[in-house]
Homo-oligomer: A and B are copies of this chain.
């Protein structure tokens, strides 16, 4: 080899190494392991991969494992058919293997037998998940430690819900435009579709709803179904099923049927035929997600029918094809004297037991709408005869878009670990959702996706962790937020121990910090109108009373907060008595939920020793100070991170600090008008006036 050539290669190499990390690879970074001892050890374990069958998903599993191991270990690894032998990693689908007997269908075991390692599962998907797990273990240095390692998913349907519109916009999306290029499909397959599927499969996500729940009927036309089919074909090798959101008035919209009444035989027939058509095009189609009679969408109530009537009509059309209907419980009539908190319960609780066996009801984690903190939804535990699916929101509609750093695992887990007491102590929301409490065959957890066309998928690099965490928790909600953060950081950012520690601490504290500078002590729904950005606690008028801020915070000269006890709206009564006891007494109610359930006098002493006003206003100041602390901490990561990612996150933290100051000053000045008390020491009065802050928020309401 000539010297020149070597120098040229060196230049190439340097170029590869110096290339800034644009975040595109997410947590799937199969770069050479830097720990040489470990790399050598792993290299000796695996010389080749063997697969026993040639199914699509198994081929994917082998290919991903090959790609990953080659990158991590820096050696070439062949994939062969057959069983292999010593040093050959076997991927085996074998429902009768004793190692997988006690596992769910998608569970897997990584076992060593006769000096051969194998990934075994009852299903192809299980092997795929086993392979991704093995890659993660190799990256983290925990592979091949036990002769038998196994995992089993707790939730059967682990799905993303995309609120993506046909023209490429995303409702509540903050990371560019939709990943799906509907005009280009089916002929053009963006390579990104494959990378999207890989990322999902790597964390166990096995279903996606492609389109917005405020659904265009066009997705049910033949023209669009062939586009959907093209995506389904990309996702199928990754074990991912495709669902569609539907518009309940489709028979009317698409074929001029005079009604969409779910009990009308023409409508029944229409859906039966349409569903059969879909399955003739996409044989493994997952089913429908439905937003009906909610925020202006059509639904069965337009014809005096119930949500169950609507769901069951669709369930019946889907049943012959083993499809599912997932019916959303996000409904709320506009009642200025009512309490939106109770609306979904009122509509759905009486329908328990009336849904078909292939229908699930999808419930948002809380009763209002993805606030930074909500009590768990009162329907959890109250519909034992109905499988309830969880709906979490990954996209940061109420969490500062893509300019705020909020690690959501603690938020998700807070809900999942809440005790409904439905069947006594320990009846957690998680056990309602996973079907174990009431013995349901189906279980589902949905995350409203935070993905978009931005190069790094999620806008804020740190928001990648929310996609990751959602998948991991849907697989196993017993993982701690800390475990997931640690895994994610090591795969995505760095393995430098101190830096991992710094970032992990930032992640774990980020949500509470966000709560502090926006809606402390259980304040909720005081964000900017429509856009849901910034503070607008002064919002008094909107198209609906329950879209204002004053409907929720109820500030007056006496105090602050929404009385949901029996003296107020009595929403608390929707919960089990134990829960009522937990939250029902203003003196004992945990502070994070205080203003959710009580109208508390400004002067009331809280458990912290401060009055409500002092504690409440101090939280805003502490929240802002915490963002400054985040900025300082982040500076320390600089020597150990890719500089493109470091700089990007640093910039976003600076934006977050500016926005936190706006939130603080707006809320403190606005509520001070009612509390009529000074800013508690040692904090200084905002230098800006309330009018100045109102102007800042008004900008976002302009065309």
A residues contacting B by CB (< 8 A) are 1, 6, 8-10, 12-13, 15-16, 20, 74, 166-169, 174, 176-177, 183-184, 187-189, 191-192, 214, 216-218, 221, 223-224, 247, 253, 401-403, 452-455, 531, 533, 644, 648, 651-652, 654-655, 658, 695-696, 699-700, 702-703
Contacts and interface: CB of A to CB of B under 8 A. Distances in A.
Contacts of A652: 184, 187-188
A271 to B, nearest CB: 18
B703 A216 contact: yes
Nearest to A24: B455
B702 A216 contact: yes
A487 to B, nearest CB: 26
A223 B9 contact: no
A6 B9 contact: yes
Given A169-B169, A189-B651, A184 B223 contact: no
Contacts of A13: 8-9, 12-13
Contacts of A183: 174, 401-403, 533, 655
A191 B648 CA distance: 9
A70 to B, nearest CB: 10
Contact of A223 (B174, B218, B699): B699
B188 A699 contact: no
A270 to B, nearest CB: 16
B15 A224 contact: no
A191 B644 CA distance: 9
A473 to B, nearest CB: 28
B12 A1 contact: no
A217 B15 CA distance: 44
A74 B8 contact: yes
A703 to B, nearest CB: 5
A287 to B, nearest CB: 22
Contacts of A168: 176-177
B177 A699 contact: no
Contacts of A224: 699
A641 to B, nearest CB: 16
A187 B223 CA distance: 43
A9 to B, nearest CB: 4
Contacts of A700: 218
Given A184-B655, A187-B651, A655-B188, A223 B177 contact: no
A176 B696 CA distance: 28
A68 to B, nearest CB: 15
Nearest to A10: B9
24 contacts: A8-B74, A9-B9, A9-B10, A12-B12, A12-B16, A16-B16, A166-B702, A168-B176, A168-B177, A169-B169, A176-B177, A177-B177, A177-B453, A183-B533, A183-B655, A184-B402, A184-B651, A187-B651, A187-B658, A188-B652, A188-B654, A192-B455, A217-B703, A218-B700
Contacts of A658: 187
Contacts of A218: 699-700, 702
A1 B6 contact: yes
Q: Which of A1, A12, A216, A401 has the most CB of B within 10 A?
A: A12
A8 B169 CA distance: 43
Given A169-B169, A184-B402, A651-B187, A223 B6 contact: no
Nearest to A657: B187
Contacts of A15: 16
B453 A648 contact: no
For the complex of A and B, the 8 pairs showing the least CB-CB separation, nearest first, are A188-B651, A187-B654, A9-B9, A177-B177, A187-B651, A12-B13, A218-B702, A187-B655
A644 B402 CA distance: 30
Contacts of A8: 13, 74
Nearest to A32: B8
A216 B184 CA distance: 31
A576 B598 CA distance: 79
A8 B221 CA distance: 52
A217 B9 contact: no
A531 B167 CA distance: 10
Which of A531, A696, A702 counts the most chain B CB atoms within 10 A? A702
B20 A191 contact: yes
Contacts of A187: 651-652, 654-655, 658
Contacts of A167: 531
Given A9-B9, A192-B455, 9 more contacts: A6-B6, A12-B16, A169-B169, A174-B183, A183-B533, A188-B655, A223-B696, A223-B699, A253-B702
Contact of A455 (B74, B223, B455): B455
A529 B531 CA distance: 28
Contacts of A177: 168, 176-177, 452-453
Contacts of A654: 187-188
Nearest to A14: B12
A192 B23 CA distance: 14
A644 B700 CA distance: 40
Contacts of A189: 651
B176 A453 contact: yes
Contacts of A454: 453
Contacts of A169: 169
A223 B534 CA distance: 14
Contacts of A531: 167
A8 to B, nearest CB: 7
Nearest to A170: B177
Contacts of A455: 192, 455
Nearest to A253: B702
A693 to B, nearest CB: 12
A699 B403 contact: no
Nearest to A4: B74
A311 B658 CA distance: 36
A317 to B, nearest CB: 21
A700 B166 CA distance: 9
A319 to B, nearest CB: 28
Contacts of A176: 168, 176-177, 453
A74 to B, nearest CB: 7
Contacts of A214: 703
Nearest to A189: B651
A2 to B, nearest CB: 11
A448 to B, nearest CB: 18
Nearest to A8: B74
